[in-house]
Structure 1
Amino acid sequence: MDLFLKRIQSYIPDEFDAFKETLNQKMYQGLRVNTSKISKDKFIRIFKDIEGQTPFCENGFYISKSLGNHPFHMSGLYYLQEPSAMSVVECLDIKEEDVVLDLCAAPGGKSSQIAARLKNGFLVSNEIDAKRCKILLSNMERMGFMNVAITNVKPETLCSAFPSCFDKVLVDAPCSGEGMMKKHSMAYQEWSYENILYCQKRQLDILEQAYKALRKDGILVYSTCTYAKEENEEVIVSFLKKHKDMQLIDIERNFGRSGLKTDGLDEKKVRRIFPMDHGEGHFVAKLKKIEGDIKYLPILKKEKIDPLAQKFLKEQLNWLYPYMHTVSNSIFCMNREFVDFKKVKCIRQGLYCGDIIKKRFEPSHAFYMNNDLENIKHKINLDFEQANQFIHGLSLDLKCDKGYVATCFEGYPFGFGKSDGNVIKNKIPKGLRLMEGQSLYGKK
């Protein structure tokens, strides 16, 4: 660790003492409002546990409490995220119709931030690690996104399959994690200069693949949560030397500070965040591809779905989505055409509606978490105690229409059940229920 601190001192000699003090302070905590489900203004009115806006994102706020068991978190109204991590997607300048690739996406903070800004665009969220990919999928389900695909492949597999197909590409690269030492003790214990160099090589390899996937005039944003110059400014310099058709452009954001002086780089065009800047630590660079091809993702033919599924969706939705797709007996829908992923391992594409099982249709939890809230016909609002019981897996003695129903708190679905008219049987997946001894955060 002496070497780590000496390196930091060489970066910021005038602020080194202030940096050392931050190592003994609590980690910054934050949440980002999911504006695809609720407006920022309404969220501020109904949620009382935020402590001021972050400088990194207009929908980001500081918190000091553990809010993972809050019913609004379970409803996908916000994502718990270290504040400085919110800065990265702001630099992508997402447009509603963009086709976007998040190449190293788990656990989903930046992917969910991207998806919240898309309307008829499309996001491919890729994660190479299978376990982390499941976490990514769970978070994207909770946040309610539809025009998204989750893939689980190596970057070279994905980018070689879809060259020059993306308007925006995000590489939030695996790194030595120096900015996360207070959160992850392993980053502290396993720190070494050799690991920094190993990470640097991997980062350059991933950038090579991202370059393939980017269209002409497309934007690539590179980020890490480390302070190491070798993984930040020096990675960008090496990449630009190899790719003369890539241009470093100004981020045009005033969070944090400029980068470190580095030969071959205009440090004013990149941004760094240290703990003294009110976030744990991030580096961001923005590049544009000024030459190359413009290609398009291959599209699956439009298909008809099973009448059982069609009947269920008409009963449950105020309007049907224009595109449907069947995988085995599972039904998915989207507001745009489905992509033909061919041999690329895609574990989810579109909104997972449910499954045809023995001549009946069984809806999924994800179907009721959809952020298209006005489209769900059958909803019932629960008070706090009822919601607490239901999230523990209990049934509720409540009169409502027969059939499947979304269970809501303050009007926002967090689960679903099946009613016989008098009792709502719990259908929340067991893995998403609270365990005995746990309770919802909020007024008792």
Structure 2
Amino acid sequence: MTTGYPAMTEAFPPAFMALMAQLLGSEAGAFFDALHQPPVRALRLRDAVRFFPKEDLLSPVPWSQDAWYVQPASALGTNPLHQAGAYYLQDASAMIPAAALAPQDSTRVLDLCAAPGGKSVQLARMVPHGLLLANEINPSRAQVLSANVERMGLTNCMVTCMPPDKLAARLPQAFDYVLVDAPCSGEGMFRKNPTAHSMWSPEHVAGCARRQMDILRSAATLTAPGGRMAYSTCTFNTTENEGVVDAFLQEHPGWTPVPFALPGLPAAPDGRLKLWPHRIAGEGQFVALLQKPEDVRPTYAPPFVPRADQAALRDAHTLMKEIIAQGLRPDALLGTTAVVLPPACLPVDGLVLLRLGLHAVRQVGRSLRPDHALALSATPTIQVPVNEAEARAFLRGETLPVPLSLRGWTAPSLSGFALGWGKAVDGVLKNHVPKGLRVATQPVE
């Protein structure tokens, strides 16, 4: 097959190539060339750039606070600071939907298709006094989501594992802002994942669009009157993007597009924006911003009233006062874990709940142990500064030498970021990093 595109190979399905040529016209060659370039890498920092190697940072991502482009060859995924939650690796394009939704603080936000969690982390940071519910239907991906929420030290989150329609039945009209980063045909992943195109077909695209409409119907139910919903995909075809949005608006009269503009990007006067990898430094994205009419009768959501063993909570609180600087107090039990509830917490009955606020203290047999999340989100009272080699050893599950005078729960820290809990006994810091987190792996971006 002769395509006329010098950089093109036979890798992509002919129907996909024809579709992109139809959409892009004279820009198609530049688009196909871009798909053969190395993926653009970026991250969002949890804290200031003070700890970060200057040679790894290239330039700020204009549309996302605390986000930077980084060197393609940087080994950031296995750096101990990554496991300590100092930063989150994420495609710069993937930061756009949350930026477009722009939730106000002290509100309730839903990330309906949230794994692996990059957008959830971004949204939670936008509402430090509000609530983020991060949901994922796939159980294994939901575990990854929960782990990333923990790693990034988020305390204002609930993590659930439920089909969107089941969640909508439990929490109708409960959220002021909803993000639907829908499962899609993944055309924007073609250069990042060289095998992604093997799953592409016109039939797959059509199937994705049907599924996306089902998810949007549930999302509409979950959105409060006057609330906003952002719909996004990492694909380029019109069937899953403009076509799905048009069909949703036709099916839901009263919903309206919301114009938006973000720094460094074209304005979206009609409330929708499609970005291509040959036009921006990123893998590409589609996002539409919609608003629910005000004149919808609101649904009453009863407040969450925690029920817990008060003696167990007092014991957990006693330990917390000894080992962290913040004056946090647990409110409830999730299984055998004492938790600090997030702001504006929703009723939990009927939810498949993986994480609820800050997991603080666990009952293990007859003893209490601080949860790993407590070290990553609070400020441990006793911290032992370590170098990178010591940090790597600790995260592998090894013990560390400490002064004989040191006793009790202690957190090794690298550049001011706690790595987890250890217990100092007789000059040895015994390792309490959860065994499932002890093998350093390349994260999913």
Q: Taking structure 1 as the reference length, what is the TM-score of the superposition?
A: 0.90
- Counterpart of 1:287? 290
Which residues in structure 2 correspond to 1:210-225 (within 5 Å)? Answer: 210-225=219-234
- Counterpart of 1:274? 276
- Counterpart of 1:348? 355
- Counterpart of 2:31? 19
1:229 to 1:99, Cα distance in 2 relative to 1, 3 A = same
1:310 to 1:59, Cα distance in 2 relative to 1, 3 A = closer
Equivalent position SS for 2:419: strand
Aligned residues: 422
Question: Residues of 1 paired with 2:188 and 2:68: CA distance?
Answer: 19
2:176 pairs with one of 135, 150, 167 = 167
| TM-superposed deviation, 1:389 | 1.9
Question: Residues of 2 paired with 1:335 and 1:218: CA distance?
Answer: 21
Contact 2:234 2:285 in 1 (8 A): yes
- Counterpart of 1:114? 123
Equivalent position SS for 1:275: coil
- Counterpart of 2:40? 28
- Counterpart of 2:397? 393
| TM-superposed deviation, 1:156 | 0.5
- Counterpart of 2:321? 314
Contact 1:325 1:338 in 2 (8 A): no
1:366 paired with 2:378, answer no
Question: Residues of 1 paired with 2:200 and 2:350: CA distance?
Answer: 37
Question: Residues of 2 paired with 1:282 and 1:255: CA distance?
Answer: 14
- Counterpart of 2:438? 433
Please, which runs of 5 or more residues in structure 1 have no aligned partner?
260-265, 440-444
Which residues in structure 2 correspond to 1:79-158 (within 5 Å)? Answer: 79-158=88-167
Question: Residues of 1 paired with 2:119 and 2:107: CA distance?
Answer: 15
1:247 pairs with one of 232, 242, 256 = 256
Question: Residues of 2 paired with 1:387 and 1:66: CA distance?
Answer: 16
Question: Residues of 1 paired with 2:135 and 2:118: CA distance?
Answer: 13
- Counterpart of 1:205? 214
Per-residue CA deviation, residues 367-412 of structure 1 (Å, 9 max, x unaligned), is 1111x43xx3121111222212212221111116311111110111
1:337 to 1:240, Cα distance in 2 relative to 1, 3 A = closer
Per-residue CA deviation, residues 161-198 of structure 1 (Å, 9 max, x unaligned), is 11111010000000000000122234200110000000
Contact 2:44 2:90 in 1 (8 A): yes
Per-residue CA deviation, residues 116-144 of structure 1 (Å, 9 max, x unaligned), is 12222111100000000010011110000
1:88 to 1:337, Cα distance in 2 relative to 1, 3 A = closer
Please, which runs of 5 or more residues in structure 2 have no aligned partner?
1-12
Q: Taking structure 2 as the reference length, what is the TM-score of the superposition?
A: 0.90
Question: Residues of 2 paired with 1:358 and 1:405: CA distance?
Answer: 21
Contact 1:127 1:151 in 2 (8 A): yes
| TM-superposed deviation, 1:211 | 0.3
Per-residue CA deviation, residues 86-130 of structure 1 (Å, 9 max, x unaligned), is 111101112220101100000001001111122221111000000
Question: Residues of 2 paired with 1:297 and 1:231: CA distance?
Answer: 36
Amino acid at match of 1:360: S
Question: Residues of 1 paired with 2:406 and 2:226: CA distance?
Answer: 53
1:55 paired with 2:58, answer no
Per-residue CA deviation, residues 262-303 of structure 1 (Å, 9 max, x unaligned), is xxxx7x431111111111110000011123234446312465
| TM-superposed deviation, 1:308 | 2.6
4+ aligned runs moved over 4 Å, structure 1 = 254-259
Amino acid at match of 1:168: Y
Contact 1:81 1:109 in 2 (8 A): yes
Contact 1:249 1:286 in 2 (8 A): yes
Amino acid at match of 2:248: F
| TM-superposed deviation, 1:421 | 4.8
Contact 2:342 2:356 in 1 (8 A): no
